Amino acid sequence: MKKILAIHTGGTISMSQNEKGEVVPNSENPIAQQETIMEGRVELITDELFNLPSPHVTPVEMLKIKERINRGEREGIDGVVITHGTDTLEETAYFLDLTLPSTVPVVVTGAMRSSNEVGSDGLYNFQTAIEVAADDASRGKGVMVVMNDEIHTARYVTKTHTTNVATFRTPTFGPIGLVAKGHPIFFQQLIRENICDIDHVVDHVYLLKAYAGMDASLFGALDNDQTAGIVIEGLGAGNLPPVTLPAIQRLLDRHIPLVLVSRCYNGVAEDIYDYQGGGIELRKMGLMLCQGLNGQKARIKLLVGLSAGLQDEQLAEYLSTAVS
């Protein structure tokens, strides 16, 4: 029988609604009590690593999850399921994807409706995630996000709706599979990225979003010795208002790595435009284009690369390989 490590970290999947209709954390995680859910089909090893709403999760907690999985692998587990709040689930999933040298299936799941709400999706998603983690077809696929009968890659999945159970979507590329009758069916696969098996995380890596009329103020606020790196969600294919350029140049002069992605929901950042603030000028100035990742994922990748000690060309090379 397959041994599946279930790591619980909190989120709506572990919460319930009180008499006023507010969704609140529980002292006892209801999902962690469901140890018999796959009785006779898998051996479930439960670890309630922490119990946090996912807006409270930081890269420090992400590293703790990674280390717990490393330990589980040394102990001979066959797969991992992580339950997590959905707000930052995509960031934790991608962090694990970039840092785990695992070949055992690692699946992250959560819920949009808490444990005692009508139509609660938590237990169903948990069961489906275990089924995917326990299936041989799921090996070597990188970290996956399984929700609502779909299998998405950690690299490209994103939360797209505040409340709908079909919130997790993969813009541009689509899911890699679906779950039917308790089994995963895969129809595409990503080429794995380089793994950075880090043991610490750097701080002061920021994410800024460009907007019509953006000025230099936010860039100026980050012009200090602490700033380790910045991801900018540029306009369209990756363009910025010209008034931001002198402040950006000052950040580059400090050797702060600047990464450019697109704020668009679909498509990839590209250096297409040769006007002031266009992608061609930004690339020439030294901004690194990161193609295919949204801002929050590119920030995680920059943070992981910096934590691994990558610099200059190595860092640029690492950040440029999201689409392969």
Please count the CA atoms within 13 angstroms of the CA of 103 that sit on its side-chain side: 4
* CB of residue 179 to ligand ASP, shortest distance in Å: 19
Per CB under 6 A, the segment of 83-91, 194-202, 237-245, 304-312 that binds ligand ASP is 83-91
Q: Which is nearer to ligand ASP, 2 or 297 (CB)?
A: 297
Using CB positions, name the residue nearest to ligand ASP.
85
Q: Which is nearer to ligand ASP, 139 or 161 (CB)?
A: 161
In angstroms, rounded to a whole number, what is the distance separating the alpha carbons of residues 60 and 295? 19
* CB of residue 85 to ligand ASP, shortest distance in Å: 2
Q: Which is nearer to ligand ASP, 112 or 176 (CB)?
A: 112
* CB of residue 217 to ligand ASP, shortest distance in Å: 30
8, 47 in Cβ contact below 8 A? yes
DSSP 269-319: ------STTSHHHHHHHTPEE--S--HHHHHHHHHHHHHTT--HHHHHHHH
Which residues neighbour 43 within 8 Å (Cβ) at sequence distance 6 or greater?
1, 2, 3, 4
Which residues neighbour 118 within 8 Å (Cβ) at sequence distance 6 or greater?
none
Single residue of 34, 51, 86, 158 touching ligand ASP by CB under 6 A: 86
Segment 11 to 30, residues that bind ligand ASP, using CB under 6 A? 11-12
Active-site residue, selected from the candidate residues 86, 88, 158, 244? 86
Q: Which is nearer to ligand ASP, 12 or 29 (CB)?
A: 12
Q: Which is nearer to ligand ASP, 85 or 278 (CB)?
A: 85
| Residue 88 CA, distance from chain mean position | 7
Per CB under 6 A, the segment of 80-88, 91-99, 257-265, 281-289 that binds ligand ASP is 80-88
The residue type found at 151 is: I
Strand segments (E) across 118-201: 143-147, 150-153, 158-159, 168-169, 177-180, 183-186
CA distance to 35, 50, 112, 208, 236, per residue, from 32 (Å)? 7, 11, 17, 37, 43
Segment 100 to 139, residues that bind ligand ASP, using CB under 6 A? 110, 112
Single residue of 79, 85, 122, 277 touching ligand ASP by CB under 6 A: 85
Segment 148 to 187, residues that bind ligand ASP, using CB under 6 A? none
- Catalytic residue check, 86: yes
Q: Would you put residue 285 in left (φ > 0), alpha (ψ -120 to 50) or beta? A: alpha
Per CB under 6 A, the segment of 37-45, 84-92, 270-278, 281-289 that binds ligand ASP is 84-92
Per CB under 6 A, the segment of 40-48, 85-93, 230-238, 287-295 that binds ligand ASP is 85-93
Per CB under 6 A, the segment of 82-90, 100-108, 185-193, 213-221 that binds ligand ASP is 82-90
116, 78 in Cβ contact below 8 A? no
In angstroms, rounded to a whole number, what is the distance separating the alpha carbons of residues 9 and 46? 11
Q: Which is nearer to ligand ASP, 125 or 291 (CB)?
A: 125
The residue type found at 142 is: G
Site residue total, ligand ASP (CB under 6 A): 9
120, 23 in Cβ contact below 8 A? no
Q: Does 59 bind ligand ASP (CB under 6 A)?
A: no
Catalytic residues: 86
Point out which residues bind ligand ASP (CB under 6 A).
Answer: 11-12, 53-54, 85-87, 110, 112
